Amino acid sequence: MFTKFLSRKQQDPENLSKVYIPSRREFLKIGSLATGGFLLGVNFQCSGPKGDPISFAPNAYLILDSDNQVTLIAHRSEMGTGIRTSLPMIIADELGADWAKVKIIQAEGDNEKYGDQNTDGSYSVRMFFEPMRQAGAIARLMLINAAAGKWEVDPSECRTEKGQVIHSDGKTADFGELIEELKNQEIPKSEDVKLKNLKDYKLIGKDVPIYDAKDIAIGKAVFGADVDIPGMQIAVIRRSPVIGAKVVSFSDEKALAISGVSRVIKIDGQGIPTGLDKALEGIAVLADNTWAAIQGRKALEVEWDLGPNQTYDSARQLEEMVKSTLTNGQIRREKGDFSNAQRKAKTVLERSFVAPYYAHATMEPPVAIANWKADFCEIWAPTQHPQWARTAVATALGIPEEQVRVNVTLLGGGFGRKSKPDFVVEAALLSKATEGPVRVQWTREDDIHHDFYHSLSAQRIKVTLDDEGKFSGWNHHTVFPAIGATSTPDELHPSDGELGLGCIDFPFEVPNIRIETHESRAHTRIGWLRSVSNIHHSFAVNGMLDEIAEARNMDPVDMLLDLLGEDRNISFEGEMKGTFGNYGEPIEKFPWNTGRLKNVIRRVAQEANWKESLAQGKNIGFAAHKSFLTYVACIVEVDKGANGELLIPNVHYVVDCGVPVNTDRIRSQFEGGAQFATSLATTSAISFENGQVQQNNFDGYQVIRMSQSPRNIHVHIMDSTEKPTGVGEPPVPPFIPALCNAVYKMTGKRIYELPIKI
């Protein structure tokens, strides 16, 4: 996720994620392996905090061995997006490898070796498409040179395909046969390294099944809790029930009496602020099996000083937040003069939108394994951010990072939760305390009670229409406890980064725009959830736009196309009071192009037969939203079931994510995104009373089940040669308002509050 959201320590390398041009110097490392294979390391140059180039050790390893196997290292975390397949696939395609003979191994967390490994913010493909192609192209050129030398032919007469170098006269050599020649190869000159044309790729742009599909289907895939270490103790922790609560006293007598329970250890939390990477205050029960640890925890007797959040009530805070939107806030973007537009307006529409806290509820609850031995801590964890886990563990244990190794397992879901390494730190602390291996296992209740929640939010949007019915003014108030407040409680306004997610980047041609924020305090740990504040911003903005279209007697699709104006790049220049983040990318490199959004809008209207379906009286709703630099438009159809339940028979998505890399995984992210968003829109909500979360498990915090899922999710991918952008998060934001707008068609009632009540 954006470095701005992270703790101060994490913020420093502003450009941690800037990985583009491979440097010539230190570019390659060639080595022989003891096994007789050949290793190629390609350095992705990263720029440092001040833009200074930093040379890292080679960090994309490619290993060829004599039996023609190509081993590629996946350095990003697999949480279900398919990245463990999609990035290595790019190298393999550029190289001309035989995909069936590619083996993928997962990298440990190591900034020096791999650069940025923070798998978040839908940016893995965006960041690594070019470096991966470069890596493959270098290896291909070296193989070709090796074969050409052996055959005494011109390298330009050779190509690679399916793990072979092929000469124009038909001679072939398996990659594995060229290992000896490769060892004598010079590093190619950068001008000789040519990337393939997009049309020549065999894997990129196609449906490529995920590498782990079979292992998952036969139960052999290794997730966090599946790592076993002899002698490992299992820890289950009673954590502070209210953020900031401290243990006054506890008795472990009954817990220790339970068969299998070995020890009870207190973990000192730092209180408020909790930060994003620290353990919460708690009492850990260690046992030789998970069940005994769970039973032991039940038997603990703990007296808490609940601290300042013990009276916190989220419903009351939300009411206060809604009230605050009626006042003048801090202006974050200003264009023209909204007050003047309001004075001259013929019609003013003013609506308030609220949305609750959400929990991530990954199917795999947080879990981590630590093994402390001789001042070295080895970790196995389902982490989205192994480097942060490494830093956080080193800090918590007071040892240098070099004495921490973080192995990354598959993640049983992430959605932003598993970026935060608090659960990894817990395991490390307990392993050090016991000087042995420990698995910290969170239960589902732990997960629901102690998440880093998506913020609850209140928004008010005021719209003015002039004498001619033209859309003359937009005034958007937004208030929600900021992610930053989890580390810095005095951050009372959302950050520029959070506002850049669907709020201040309002792209429409309206002459008078004012965007304001208000103060709110965090009373729990706030984090980022799949698409972050785009969730609530898109809900309000696109709901409001639909209402404006109705007030103007316009088709909402036509209105949006009209409001986007000419096809052009927009920059919001001079309008932002702070910084427009553009998802961490320079706007020159990834411009905000109105034409691309218009194209997905036109296409979705066509794919869903928008006008005809409306004429037929279908209950359909529309929304379009660009997030994470990916352009998406969505049309959702709803219906009522026999028992009055909400049905979603059809969803149409059109996505422009630049060059499509793995089309099957693009579709699967949109299919899953629609289902994830259906939960957010219809079933899920977290609330607090007396400082404590009121939901416990999937009975209280509900996510959709199969019968509630949208039926047919049609995903249409735009052909594009633009730079590729991510698809993990972009499906969520437009779906929710498209669904709300469809529900309005069916019920005649606008949706101003999530989750939707029918």
Partner 1 sequence: MEKYSLRINNKVHEISAESEMPLLWAIRDLVGLKGTKFGCGQGLCGACTVLLDGSPIRSCSFQLSEVGDNATITTIEGLSDKGDHPVQQAWIKHVVPQCGYCQSGQILSAVALLGSNPTPSDEQIDTAMNGNICRCGTYNRIKEAIHTASISLK
| List of residues contacting partner 1 (CB under 8 A) | 78-82, 207, 209-210, 212-214, 216-223, 225-226, 228, 234, 259-260, 289-292, 294, 361-365, 410-415, 441, 443-445, 664, 668-669, 671-676, 697-699, 703, 705-707, 709-713
Q: Measured from the CB atom, is 474 or 528 closer to partner 1?
A: 528
Q: Measured from the CB atom, is 225 or 685 closer to partner 1?
A: 225
Contact 685, 619 (CB under 8 A): no
Measured from the CB of residue 292, what is the shortest distance to partner 1 in angstroms? 8
Beta strands in 486-544 (DSSP E): 512-517
Q: Measured from the CB atom, is 473 or 733 closer to partner 1?
A: 733
Would you report the helix, strand and coil content of the chain in percent, each value rounded to 5?
A: 35, 25, 40
∠ CA 660-720-650 to the nearest 5 degrees?
65
Measured from the CB of residue 678, what is the shortest distance to partner 1 in angstroms? 8
Q: Measured from the CB atom, is 110 or 729 closer to partner 1?
A: 729
CB neighbourhood size of 556 (10 A):
24
Burial of 561 (0-12, 13-18, 19+ CB in 10 A): middle
> DSSP letter string over 592-652?
EEHHHHHHHHHHHHHHTTHHHHHHTT--EEEEEEEETTEEEEEEEEEEE-TTS-EEEEEEE
DSSP H or E stretch at residue 562: helix 556-563
CB neighbourhood size of 490 (10 A):
8
Measured from the CB of residue 80, what is the shortest distance to partner 1 in angstroms? 3
Measured from the CB of residue 711, what is the shortest distance to partner 1 in angstroms? 7
Q: Measured from the CB atom, is 412 or 481 closer to partner 1?
A: 412
Closest to 244 measured CA to CA, from 272, 267, 283: 272
Mutual angle of helices 732-747 and 663-682, in 10-degree steps: 50
Contacts of 555 (CB under 8 A, 6+ apart): 549, 611, 614
Measured from the CB of residue 720, what is the shortest distance to partner 1 in angstroms? 23
Task: List the structure tokens of 191.
Answer: 């001008």
Q: Measured from the CB atom, is 441 or 627 closer to partner 1?
A: 441
Measured from the CB of residue 363, what is the shortest distance to partner 1 in angstroms? 4
Measured from the CB of residue 481, what is the shortest distance to partner 1 in angstroms? 24
Provide φ and ψ at 637, rounded to 5°: -110, 135
Measured from the CB of residue 280, what is the shortest distance to partner 1 in angstroms? 20
Length of the chain: 758
Measured from the CB of residue 728, what is the shortest distance to partner 1 in angstroms? 10
Q: Measured from the CB atom, is 380 or 572 closer to partner 1?
A: 380
Measured from the CB of residue 249, what is the shortest distance to partner 1 in angstroms? 28
What is the spatial distance between Cα 371 and Cα 699, in angstroms, rounded to a whole number? 35
User: C-alpha distances in angstroms, 13 versus 1, 8, 17, 116, 443?
Assistant: 13, 10, 8, 11, 34
620-627 β-sheet, strand order: 620-627, 630-640, 646-656, 712-717
Measured from the CB of residue 54, what is the shortest distance to partner 1 in angstroms? 33
Measured from the CB of residue 293, what is the shortest distance to partner 1 in angstroms? 10
Q: Measured from the CB atom, is 309 or 675 closer to partner 1?
A: 675
At position 195, the amino acid (one-letter code) is L
What is the spatial distance between Cα 251 and Cα 235, in angstroms, rounded to a whole number? 17
Q: Measured from the CB atom, is 202 or 714 closer to partner 1?
A: 714
Q: Measured from the CB atom, is 269 or 366 closer to partner 1?
A: 366
What is the spatial distance between Cα 745 and Cα 747, in angstroms, rounded to a whole number? 6
Q: Measured from the CB atom, is 216 or 315 closer to partner 1?
A: 216
Contact 276, 487 (CB under 8 A): yes
Q: Measured from the CB atom, is 45 or 669 closer to partner 1?
A: 669
Question: Which residues partner with 714 through β-bridges?
Answer: 652
Q: Measured from the CB atom, is 84 or 625 closer to partner 1?
A: 84
At position 430, the amino acid (one-letter code) is L
Q: Measured from the CB atom, is 325 or 362 closer to partner 1?
A: 362
Contact 747, 758 (CB under 8 A): yes
Q: Measured from the CB atom, is 35 or 707 closer to partner 1?
A: 707
Task: List the structure tokens of 201.
Answer: 């790729």
Measured from the CB of residue 627, what is the shortest distance to partner 1 in angstroms? 18
Task: List the structure tokens of 723.
Answer: 């730079």
3-state secondary structure of 433: helix
For 246-380, where are the alpha helices, taking DSSP H only? 253-256, 290-299, 314-324, 338-344
Q: Which residue has the tokens 């602020």?
A: 273
Cα 275 → chain centroid: 20
Q: Measured from the CB atom, is 410 or 646 closer to partner 1?
A: 410
Measured from the CB of residue 62, what is the shortest distance to partner 1 in angstroms? 25
What is the spatial distance between Cα 266 and Cα 368, in angstroms, rounded to a whole number? 18
What is the spatial distance between Cα 538 and Cα 631, in angstroms, rounded to a whole number? 13
Measured from the CB of residue 470, what is the shortest distance to partner 1 in angstroms? 40
Measured from the CB of residue 318, what is the shortest distance to partner 1 in angstroms? 25
Contact 360, 415 (CB under 8 A): yes
What is the spatial distance between Cα 757 and Cα 125, in angstroms, rounded to a whole number? 37
CB neighbourhood size of 34 (10 A):
5
* DSSP symbol at 729: S
Q: Measured from the CB atom, is 429 or 448 closer to partner 1?
A: 448
At position 577, the amino acid (one-letter code) is K
Measured from the CB of residue 466, what is the shortest distance to partner 1 in angstroms? 43
